[in-house]
Amino acid sequence: MELLYLLFSIVFTSFTTLILSLILPFHALLRRLVSSRASSSSSSDEAEPISLYEGTVYHQRRHPVHHSFQYRVRYALIDIDRAPHAPPNHLSPDEARRITGTNGTILLLTIPPSVGYEQNPLSVYYCYDVEESATCLKKCIAEVTNTPWAERVTFIFNPHSDLVAKALHVSPFMDMLGSWNIKASDPGDYLSISISVHHPEFGNYFTASLKAKKLHSSSASDHAVFFWLMPHKVAVWIYWHAIKLWWKNVQFIQHPRYATPTYRDEALIRDRNLQCCGFSAERENKKDCLSSEASPRDRWFRWIDAKWPWS
């Protein structure tokens, strides 16, 4: 049943992709005509609400087999208060401010949908505070979505470095016991994000990172063209590397909702233990923006269930 659905959705997505891709050049042309007329009248110096980044995702697994790869990616960093159309299926800026207790800009790093298809293993919200003289990156929110289920977990983290209990079955080749050590730089001309998985038995056995460079908007004036097939490429990489891991005989692990239906509650408990006794004690006191929380509070997590037929 699920396999049939997967095949059907691949065929359906290919079909809509083809049709919408055929229309894309006409749309792009139309937009160029409209915008050339508009830009001749207005040329403001204000920063664009959307910045484009191009870079590389690296994955390295060190247990039970060595498997690493890298691929080129394109991301948008969107000021979601100011962008004319914020991407669907994400938090609103007010929600992000409420969750993080911040009062400034919210930037969302994500791969926008292309020709009707969205694929975002990780989106990150950068949440700033307005201080007297500057803005200051205070907190981040990660939004992790798994494939093919499209379940999602959203949680808050400290961008300087945080240790978060794994709360979503992201890959069928990993169990739920690890913790994620996650870091994100304040995005400027360059940005980087890294996540490594610390496992009680296998140690630090997996690292994923994104390093990207900001592009100057003139190099990609049409976002629909710039992101064309980007989500599709990500999906192909995910399935291709799943096949390779399966080929290398890495054990296939069932979704925890069958064996441990309480896995989300267990993640919350593991996370509380990590915050109280694990990592925060040894976390050095970084300068400027790091808030000094006296007592660890429960981390904010939110799960979104898989849709039919995966639910």
Q: Which residues form the interface with ligand NAG (CB under 6 A)?
A: 103, 129-131
Give the residue nearest to ligand NAG (CB). 103
Q: Is the CB of 262 or the CB of 291 nearer to ligand NAG?
A: 291
**Residues 6 or more apart whose Cβ sits within 8 Å of residue 206:** 59, 60, 61, 62, 63, 174, 178, 196, 197
Is there a contact between 300 and 127 (Cβ–Cβ < 8 Å)? no
Q: Is the CB of 216 or the CB of 297 nearer to ligand NAG?
A: 297
For residues 71 and 57, what is the distance between their CA atoms, to the nearest angstrom?
Answer: 5
Q: Is the CB of 136 or the CB of 242 nearer to ligand NAG?
A: 136
277 residue type, one letter: C
Least CB distance to ligand NAG at residue 243 (A): 48
Least CB distance to ligand NAG at residue 268 (A): 26
3-state SS, residue 90: coil
Cis peptide before 121 (omega within 30 of 0): no
Q: Is the CB of 33 or the CB of 134 nearer to ligand NAG?
A: 134
Least CB distance to ligand NAG at residue 131 (A): 5
Q: Is the CB of 25 or the CB of 101 nearer to ligand NAG?
A: 101
Q: Is the CB of 30 or the CB of 130 nearer to ligand NAG?
A: 130
Q: Which residues of 98-112 are buried (b: 16+ CB within 10 A; e: fewer)?
A: ebbebebbbbbbbbb
Q: Is the CB of 56 or the CB of 103 nearer to ligand NAG?
A: 103
For residues 239 and 3, what is the distance between their CA atoms, to the nearest angstrom?
Answer: 13
Element (H, E) at 273: helix 263-273
Strands 67-79 and 50-61: antiparallel
With tokens 């730089």, the residue in question is: 185
Least CB distance to ligand NAG at residue 262 (A): 36
Least CB distance to ligand NAG at residue 103 (A): 4
Least CB distance to ligand NAG at residue 129 (A): 4
Least CB distance to ligand NAG at residue 139 (A): 11
39 burial class (0-12, 13-18, 19+ CB within 10 angstroms)?
Answer: exposed
